[in-house]
Protein backbone atom coordinates (compact mmCIF):
# COMPACT_ATOMS: atom_id res chain seq x y z
CA UNK A 1 0.00 0.00 0.00
CA UNK A 2 1.09 3.54 -0.70
CA UNK A 3 0.36 6.97 0.64
CA UNK A 4 -0.26 9.91 -1.67
CA UNK A 5 0.26 13.57 -0.97
CA UNK A 6 -2.00 16.35 -2.18
CA UNK A 7 -0.75 18.35 -5.16
CA UNK A 8 -2.94 21.35 -4.33
CA UNK A 9 -1.46 24.82 -4.75
CA UNK A 10 -4.77 26.61 -4.56
CA UNK A 11 -5.51 29.46 -2.22
CA UNK A 12 -8.60 30.52 -0.39
CA UNK A 13 -12.11 29.45 -1.35
CA UNK A 14 -15.47 31.09 -0.74
CA UNK A 15 -19.00 29.71 -0.66
CA UNK A 16 -21.78 32.32 -0.88
CA UNK A 17 -25.47 31.41 -0.52
CA UNK A 18 -28.38 33.25 -2.09
CA UNK A 19 -29.27 34.84 1.26
CA UNK A 20 -25.80 36.43 1.45
CA UNK A 21 -24.35 33.91 3.93
CA UNK A 22 -20.61 33.51 3.36
CA UNK A 23 -18.23 30.70 4.24
CA UNK A 24 -14.50 31.26 3.73
CA UNK A 25 -12.19 28.26 3.65
CA UNK A 26 -9.39 26.62 1.69
CA UNK A 27 -9.62 25.61 -1.95
CA UNK A 28 -8.81 22.27 -3.54
CA UNK A 29 -9.31 20.79 -6.97
CA UNK A 30 -9.74 23.33 -9.77
CA UNK A 31 -9.27 27.08 -9.35
CA UNK A 32 -12.50 28.43 -10.81
CA UNK A 33 -15.95 29.81 -10.02
CA UNK A 34 -19.15 27.77 -10.33
CA UNK A 35 -22.76 28.17 -9.31
CA UNK A 36 -25.56 25.74 -8.59
CA UNK A 37 -27.93 24.35 -6.01
CA UNK A 38 -26.29 23.70 -2.63
CA UNK A 39 -27.32 20.29 -1.24
CA UNK A 40 -26.04 18.00 1.50
CA UNK A 41 -25.55 14.27 1.90
CA UNK A 42 -25.19 12.53 5.26
CA UNK A 43 -23.37 9.56 3.70
CA UNK A 44 -20.29 8.52 5.66
CA UNK A 45 -18.56 6.82 2.71
CA UNK A 46 -18.85 6.67 -1.06
CA UNK A 47 -17.53 10.01 -2.32
CA UNK A 48 -16.30 8.44 -5.62
CA UNK A 49 -19.79 7.06 -6.24
CA UNK A 50 -21.57 10.24 -5.12
CA UNK A 51 -19.47 12.66 -7.15
CA UNK A 52 -19.96 10.60 -10.32
CA UNK A 53 -23.72 10.15 -9.77
CA UNK A 54 -25.42 12.03 -12.65
CA UNK A 55 -28.29 12.95 -10.30
CA UNK A 56 -25.94 15.59 -8.82
CA UNK A 57 -25.71 17.48 -12.12
CA UNK A 58 -26.18 21.19 -11.44
CA UNK A 59 -25.56 20.78 -7.71
CA UNK A 60 -22.74 21.69 -5.34
CA UNK A 61 -22.52 18.76 -2.95
CA UNK A 62 -21.81 19.04 0.79
CA UNK A 63 -20.68 15.96 2.69
CA UNK A 64 -21.68 16.20 6.36
CA UNK A 65 -19.21 13.50 7.44
CA UNK A 66 -16.26 15.45 8.87
CA UNK A 67 -13.32 13.74 7.11
CA UNK A 68 -13.45 13.05 3.38
CA UNK A 69 -10.82 11.63 1.01
CA UNK A 70 -9.11 9.24 3.41
CA UNK A 71 -9.16 6.25 1.03
CA UNK A 72 -8.21 8.17 -2.08
CA UNK A 73 -9.64 7.50 -5.54
CA UNK A 74 -9.74 3.99 -7.09
CA UNK A 75 -8.71 3.03 -10.65
CA UNK A 76 -11.02 3.22 -13.66
CA UNK A 77 -11.27 -0.56 -14.00
CA UNK A 78 -14.10 -2.02 -16.09
CA UNK A 79 -16.18 -5.18 -15.91
CA UNK A 80 -18.46 -6.14 -18.83
CA UNK A 81 -17.78 -2.72 -20.28
CA UNK A 82 -18.94 -0.86 -17.16
CA UNK A 83 -16.78 0.98 -14.61
CA UNK A 84 -16.56 -1.00 -11.36
CA UNK A 85 -15.98 1.77 -8.82
CA UNK A 86 -17.74 4.82 -10.28
CA UNK A 87 -21.31 5.63 -11.29
CA UNK A 88 -20.45 7.42 -14.54
CA UNK A 89 -17.37 8.26 -16.57
CA UNK A 90 -16.76 11.71 -15.03
CA UNK A 91 -17.59 13.78 -11.98
CA UNK A 92 -21.11 15.14 -12.40
CA UNK A 93 -21.40 17.33 -9.27
CA UNK A 94 -20.62 20.98 -10.00
CA UNK A 95 -18.54 21.45 -6.84
CA UNK A 96 -17.65 19.75 -3.55
CA UNK A 97 -17.82 20.99 0.05
CA UNK A 98 -16.16 19.17 2.96
CA UNK A 99 -15.10 20.00 6.49
CA UNK A 100 -11.68 18.34 6.47
CA UNK A 101 -9.85 17.16 3.35
CA UNK A 102 -7.56 14.16 3.76
CA UNK A 103 -4.37 14.96 1.89
CA UNK A 104 -2.62 11.66 2.67
CA UNK A 105 -5.02 8.83 1.77
CA UNK A 106 -4.06 5.24 2.51
CA UNK A 107 -5.71 2.38 0.63
CA UNK A 108 -4.48 -0.51 -1.51
CA UNK A 109 -6.63 0.55 -4.49
CA UNK A 110 -5.96 4.28 -4.32
CA UNK A 111 -4.57 5.80 -7.52
CA UNK A 112 -4.65 9.49 -6.58
CA UNK A 113 -5.91 11.93 -3.99
CA UNK A 114 -9.37 13.43 -3.96
CA UNK A 115 -7.74 16.80 -4.52
CA UNK A 116 -5.89 15.59 -7.62
CA UNK A 117 -9.00 13.90 -8.99
CA UNK A 118 -11.04 17.09 -8.74
CA UNK A 119 -8.19 19.01 -10.31
CA UNK A 120 -7.99 16.52 -13.20
CA UNK A 121 -11.77 16.82 -13.73
CA UNK A 122 -11.78 20.64 -13.44
CA UNK A 123 -14.11 20.61 -10.41
CA UNK A 124 -13.60 23.10 -7.54
CA UNK A 125 -13.81 22.17 -3.87
CA UNK A 126 -13.72 23.94 -0.51
CA UNK A 127 -12.64 22.59 2.88
CA UNK A 128 -12.10 24.03 6.32
CA UNK A 129 -15.61 25.46 6.74
CA UNK A 130 -18.30 24.59 9.28
CA UNK A 131 -20.33 22.07 7.29
CA UNK A 132 -22.58 21.46 10.32
CA UNK A 133 -23.61 25.12 10.34
CA UNK A 134 -24.18 25.02 6.58
CA UNK A 135 -26.29 21.85 6.82
CA UNK A 136 -28.42 23.26 9.64
CA UNK A 137 -29.10 26.33 7.51
CA UNK A 138 -30.15 24.18 4.54
CA UNK A 139 -32.41 22.05 6.75
CA UNK A 140 -34.21 25.13 8.06
CA UNK A 141 -34.37 27.14 4.84
CA UNK A 142 -34.28 24.33 2.28
CA UNK A 143 -31.76 23.86 -0.52
CA UNK A 144 -30.32 27.16 -1.72
CA UNK A 145 -28.60 28.51 -4.79
CA UNK A 146 -25.02 29.61 -4.37
CA UNK A 147 -21.57 30.32 -5.75
CA UNK A 148 -18.36 28.44 -5.00
CA UNK A 149 -15.10 30.10 -6.00
CA UNK A 150 -11.60 28.73 -5.54
CA UNK A 151 -8.79 31.29 -5.85
CA UNK A 152 -5.18 31.10 -6.92
CA UNK A 153 -2.67 30.96 -4.08
CA UNK A 154 -1.92 34.71 -4.14
CA UNK A 155 -5.49 35.98 -4.68
CA UNK A 156 -7.76 37.60 -2.11
CA UNK A 157 -11.54 37.04 -2.25
CA UNK A 158 -13.90 39.88 -3.13
CA UNK A 159 -16.83 38.94 -0.90
CA UNK A 160 -19.03 41.90 -1.80
CA UNK A 161 -18.76 41.14 -5.50
CA UNK A 162 -19.74 37.51 -4.91
CA UNK A 163 -22.74 38.58 -2.81
CA UNK A 164 -23.92 40.69 -5.75
CA UNK A 165 -23.37 37.91 -8.27
CA UNK A 166 -25.18 35.26 -6.23
CA UNK A 167 -28.45 37.19 -6.60
CA UNK A 168 -28.49 36.37 -10.31
CA UNK A 169 -27.54 32.68 -10.13
CA UNK A 170 -29.93 30.65 -12.36
CA UNK A 171 -31.83 27.70 -10.91
CA UNK A 172 -30.45 24.57 -12.64
CA UNK A 173 -33.82 22.84 -12.13
CA UNK A 174 -35.43 25.24 -14.59
CA UNK A 175 -33.46 23.56 -17.39
CA UNK A 176 -33.58 20.01 -18.76
CA UNK A 177 -30.68 18.56 -16.77
CA UNK A 178 -31.37 15.00 -17.93
CA UNK A 179 -30.58 16.13 -21.47
CA UNK A 180 -27.08 17.08 -20.31
CA UNK A 181 -26.26 13.65 -18.85
CA UNK A 182 -28.10 11.18 -21.09
CA UNK A 183 -26.14 9.10 -23.58
CA UNK A 184 -25.99 10.72 -27.02
CA UNK A 185 -26.18 7.49 -29.01
CA UNK A 186 -27.35 3.99 -28.02
CA UNK A 187 -24.75 1.78 -26.33
CA UNK A 188 -25.03 -2.01 -26.22
CA UNK A 189 -23.85 -4.00 -23.19
CA UNK A 190 -23.92 -7.77 -23.80
CA UNK A 191 -24.35 -10.14 -20.86
CA UNK A 192 -24.56 -13.42 -22.75
CA UNK A 193 -27.98 -13.93 -21.18
CA UNK A 194 -31.38 -14.69 -22.65
CA UNK A 195 -33.29 -11.43 -22.03
CA UNK A 196 -33.07 -7.93 -23.47
CA UNK A 197 -33.66 -4.71 -21.54
CA UNK A 198 -33.87 -1.19 -22.89
CA UNK A 199 -32.54 1.36 -20.42
CA UNK A 200 -34.01 4.85 -20.80
CA UNK A 201 -30.97 6.83 -19.69
CA UNK A 202 -32.01 9.96 -17.82
CA UNK A 203 -28.63 9.97 -16.06
CA UNK A 204 -28.14 6.34 -15.11
CA UNK A 205 -25.87 5.14 -12.33
CA UNK A 206 -23.62 2.33 -13.49
CA UNK A 207 -24.76 0.25 -10.53
CA UNK A 208 -28.08 -0.21 -12.34
CA UNK A 209 -26.25 -1.46 -15.44
CA UNK A 210 -24.15 -3.84 -13.38
CA UNK A 211 -27.25 -5.35 -11.77
CA UNK A 212 -29.06 -5.83 -15.08
CA UNK A 213 -26.02 -7.51 -16.63
CA UNK A 214 -25.63 -9.83 -13.62
CA UNK A 215 -29.22 -10.97 -14.13
CA UNK A 216 -28.73 -12.01 -17.72
CA UNK A 217 -30.06 -8.94 -19.52
CA UNK A 218 -28.42 -7.74 -22.71
CA UNK A 219 -28.83 -3.99 -22.22
CA UNK A 220 -29.44 -1.29 -24.80
CA UNK A 221 -28.80 2.03 -23.13
CA UNK A 222 -30.65 4.67 -25.14
CA UNK A 223 -31.18 8.45 -24.95
CA UNK A 224 -33.88 9.56 -22.53
CA UNK A 225 -36.03 11.09 -25.28
CA UNK A 226 -36.38 7.94 -27.40
CA UNK A 227 -39.85 7.34 -28.83
CA UNK A 228 -41.93 4.19 -28.39
CA UNK A 229 -41.01 3.06 -31.91
CA UNK A 230 -37.30 3.53 -31.26
CA UNK A 231 -37.50 1.58 -28.01
CA UNK A 232 -39.48 -1.27 -29.58
CA UNK A 233 -36.95 -1.62 -32.40
CA UNK A 234 -34.79 -3.49 -29.85
CA UNK A 235 -37.60 -5.97 -29.05
CA UNK A 236 -37.10 -5.60 -25.29
CA UNK A 237 -38.35 -8.03 -22.67
CA UNK A 238 -38.43 -5.13 -20.22
CA UNK A 239 -37.69 -1.40 -19.92
CA UNK A 240 -35.77 0.32 -17.12
CA UNK A 241 -36.36 4.03 -16.40
CA UNK A 242 -33.20 5.34 -14.77
CA UNK A 243 -32.42 7.87 -12.12
CA UNK A 244 -31.33 11.34 -13.14
CA UNK A 245 -31.07 15.00 -12.13
CA UNK A 246 -33.54 17.83 -11.88
CA UNK A 247 -37.27 18.33 -12.20
CA UNK A 248 -38.97 15.23 -13.71
CA UNK A 249 -41.50 17.44 -15.50
CA UNK A 250 -38.69 18.54 -17.82
CA UNK A 251 -38.53 14.99 -19.27
CA UNK A 252 -41.54 15.51 -21.53
CA UNK A 253 -40.68 12.94 -24.22
CA UNK A 254 -39.68 10.32 -21.65
CA UNK A 255 -43.01 10.71 -19.89
CA UNK A 256 -44.92 10.17 -23.13
CA UNK A 257 -42.87 7.10 -24.10
CA UNK A 258 -43.39 5.56 -20.66
CA UNK A 259 -47.16 6.19 -20.87
CA UNK A 260 -47.31 4.27 -24.16
CA UNK A 261 -45.14 1.44 -22.81
CA UNK A 262 -47.42 1.00 -19.81
CA UNK A 263 -50.46 0.88 -22.12
CA UNK A 264 -48.92 -2.03 -24.02
CA UNK A 265 -48.14 -3.99 -20.83
CA UNK A 266 -44.36 -3.70 -21.13
CA UNK A 267 -42.58 -4.93 -17.96
CA UNK A 268 -41.06 -1.81 -16.42
CA UNK A 269 -38.94 -0.79 -13.45
CA UNK A 270 -38.16 2.77 -12.43
CA UNK A 271 -35.46 4.03 -10.10
CA UNK A 272 -35.53 7.44 -8.37
CA UNK A 273 -36.36 9.90 -11.19
CA UNK A 274 -37.88 6.89 -12.94
CA UNK A 275 -40.50 6.69 -10.17
CA UNK A 276 -41.54 10.28 -10.72
CA UNK A 277 -41.64 9.81 -14.50
CA UNK A 278 -43.86 6.71 -14.15
CA UNK A 279 -46.28 8.63 -11.90
CA UNK A 280 -46.38 11.61 -14.27
CA UNK A 281 -46.91 9.33 -17.26
CA UNK A 282 -50.07 7.92 -15.68
CA UNK A 283 -51.53 11.27 -14.63
CA UNK A 284 -49.95 11.73 -11.22
CA UNK A 285 -48.03 14.75 -9.93
CA UNK A 286 -44.67 15.48 -8.31
CA UNK A 287 -43.31 18.20 -6.05
CA UNK A 288 -39.97 19.41 -4.74
CA UNK A 289 -38.85 18.42 -1.26
CA UNK A 290 -37.52 21.06 1.13
CA UNK A 291 -33.99 19.65 1.20
CA UNK A 292 -34.35 16.23 -0.38
CA UNK A 293 -33.13 12.78 0.62
CA UNK A 294 -29.40 12.27 0.13
CA UNK A 295 -27.88 9.57 2.31
CA UNK A 296 -27.32 5.85 2.79
CA UNK A 297 -29.68 5.37 5.74
CA UNK A 298 -33.16 6.31 4.54
CA UNK A 299 -35.82 3.91 5.94
CA UNK A 300 -38.22 2.62 3.25
CA UNK A 301 -41.23 0.88 4.79
CA UNK A 302 -42.97 -1.87 2.79
CA UNK A 303 -46.68 -1.18 3.30
CA UNK A 304 -47.61 -4.78 2.41
CA UNK A 305 -45.26 -6.66 4.73
CA UNK A 306 -44.42 -4.04 7.36
CA UNK A 307 -40.73 -4.66 6.76
CA UNK A 308 -38.41 -1.64 6.73
CA UNK A 309 -35.33 -1.47 4.50
CA UNK A 310 -32.35 0.84 4.93
CA UNK A 311 -31.71 2.46 1.56
CA UNK A 312 -29.44 4.78 -0.41
CA UNK A 313 -31.21 7.82 -1.79
CA UNK A 314 -30.43 10.92 -3.83
CA UNK A 315 -33.43 12.94 -4.92
CA UNK A 316 -34.94 16.38 -4.51
CA UNK A 317 -38.40 15.61 -5.95
CA UNK A 318 -41.01 13.00 -5.08
CA UNK A 319 -44.48 11.77 -6.03
CA UNK A 320 -47.50 13.55 -4.56
CA UNK A 321 -49.40 10.80 -2.76
CA UNK A 322 -52.95 11.98 -3.38
CA UNK A 323 -52.24 12.49 -7.10
CA UNK A 324 -51.94 8.76 -7.86
CA UNK A 325 -55.42 7.82 -6.60
CA UNK A 326 -56.88 7.37 -10.11
CA UNK A 327 -53.73 6.43 -12.01
CA UNK A 328 -53.78 2.66 -11.54
CA UNK A 329 -50.75 2.99 -9.26
CA UNK A 330 -50.76 2.14 -5.57
CA UNK A 331 -48.28 3.25 -2.94
CA UNK A 332 -45.98 0.34 -2.12
CA UNK A 333 -43.32 1.91 0.11
CA UNK A 334 -43.19 5.05 2.21
CA UNK A 335 -40.38 6.84 4.03
CA UNK A 336 -40.51 6.10 7.76
CA UNK A 337 -38.95 9.50 8.54
CA UNK A 338 -41.12 12.00 6.67
CA UNK A 339 -43.87 9.68 5.32
CA UNK A 340 -43.19 10.59 1.66
CA UNK A 341 -43.87 8.10 -1.14
CA UNK A 342 -40.92 5.76 -1.68
CA UNK A 343 -42.29 3.21 -4.11
CA UNK A 344 -45.28 2.52 -6.35
CA UNK A 345 -46.58 -0.36 -8.42
CA UNK A 346 -49.42 -0.73 -10.90
CA UNK A 347 -52.54 -2.64 -9.89
CA UNK A 348 -52.83 -4.57 -13.16
CA UNK A 349 -49.77 -3.77 -15.28
CA UNK A 350 -46.24 -5.23 -14.88
CA UNK A 351 -44.75 -1.90 -13.77
CA UNK A 352 -43.20 -0.72 -10.50
CA UNK A 353 -40.73 1.91 -9.34
CA UNK A 354 -38.65 2.80 -6.29
CA UNK A 355 -37.69 6.25 -5.09
CA UNK A 356 -34.39 4.90 -3.75
CA UNK A 357 -31.44 3.11 -5.36
CA UNK A 358 -31.78 -0.68 -4.98
CA UNK A 359 -28.36 -1.02 -6.64
CA UNK A 360 -27.02 1.13 -3.77
CA UNK A 361 -23.38 1.82 -4.72
CA UNK A 362 -21.73 2.02 -2.26
CA UNK A 363 -24.43 0.33 -0.15
CA UNK A 364 -26.41 -1.00 1.62
CA UNK A 365 -27.48 -3.75 -0.79
CA UNK A 366 -30.56 -4.99 1.07
CA UNK A 367 -33.00 -4.35 -1.80
CA UNK A 368 -31.16 -5.71 -4.83
CA UNK A 369 -33.87 -8.41 -4.89
CA UNK A 370 -36.04 -5.86 -6.70
CA UNK A 371 -33.92 -6.41 -9.81
CA UNK A 372 -34.88 -10.09 -9.50
CA UNK A 373 -38.52 -8.97 -9.47
CA UNK A 374 -37.91 -7.08 -12.72
CA UNK A 375 -36.29 -10.17 -14.22
CA UNK A 376 -39.30 -12.27 -13.20
CA UNK A 377 -41.72 -9.79 -14.81
CA UNK A 378 -39.68 -9.94 -18.02
CA UNK A 379 -39.92 -13.75 -17.99
CA UNK A 380 -43.67 -13.82 -17.29
CA UNK A 381 -44.68 -11.25 -19.90
Q: How many helices (H) and strands (E) does the chain have?
A: 10, 21
Q: Which residues contact 140 (CB under 8 A, 6 or more apart)?
A: none
Determine whether 357 is an active site residue.
yes
Catalytic annotation, pick one of 49, 202, 272, 293: 272
Q: What is the rounded CA–CA span in Å between residue 9 and residue 11?
A: 7
How far is the CA of 56 from the CAs of 12, 44, 49, 134, 271, in angstroms? 24, 17, 11, 18, 15
**Burial class, 29, CB count within 10 angstroms (exposed 0-12 / middle 13-18 / buried 19+):** buried
Q: Strand 95-97 relative to strand 124-127: parallel, antiparallel, unpaired? A: parallel
Q: What is the rounded CA–CA span in Å between residue 19 and residue 17?
A: 5
Strands (E), 30-143: 33-41, 59-63, 67-68, 78-79, 82-83, 95-97, 100-101, 124-127
Determine whether 293 is an active site residue.
no
Look at the alpha carbons of 22, 25, 29, 33 in this order and tell me if their dihedral is positive or negative.
Answer: positive
Catalytic annotation, pick one of 37, 49, 87, 359: 359
SS3 307: coil
Q: What is the rounded CA–CA span in Å between residue 317 and residue 273?
A: 8
Angle at 11 between CA 5 and CA 15, to 5 degrees: 110
**Closest Cα to residue 298, out of 354, 259, 243, 352?**
354
Q: Which residues contact 114 (CB under 8 A, 6 or more apart)?
A: 28, 47, 68, 69, 72, 73, 101, 102, 105, 125
**Burial class, 31, CB count within 10 angstroms (exposed 0-12 / middle 13-18 / buried 19+):** buried
Determine whether 368 is an active site residue.
no
379, containing H or E segment: helix 369-380
316, containing H or E segment: strand 308-319
Q: Give the residue numbers marked as catalytic.
A: 272, 357, 359
Amino acid sequence: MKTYQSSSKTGKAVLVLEDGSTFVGHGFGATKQVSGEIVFSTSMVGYPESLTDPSYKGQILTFTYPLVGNYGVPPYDKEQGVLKYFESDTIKATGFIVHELCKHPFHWASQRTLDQWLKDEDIPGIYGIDTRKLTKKLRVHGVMLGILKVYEADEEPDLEQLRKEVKTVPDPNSTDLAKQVTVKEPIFYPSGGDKTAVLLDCGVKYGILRNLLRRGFDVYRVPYDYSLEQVMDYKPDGVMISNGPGDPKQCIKTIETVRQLVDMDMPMMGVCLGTQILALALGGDTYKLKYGHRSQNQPALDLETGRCYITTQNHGYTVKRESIADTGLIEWFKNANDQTVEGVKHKTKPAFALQWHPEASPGPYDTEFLFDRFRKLAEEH
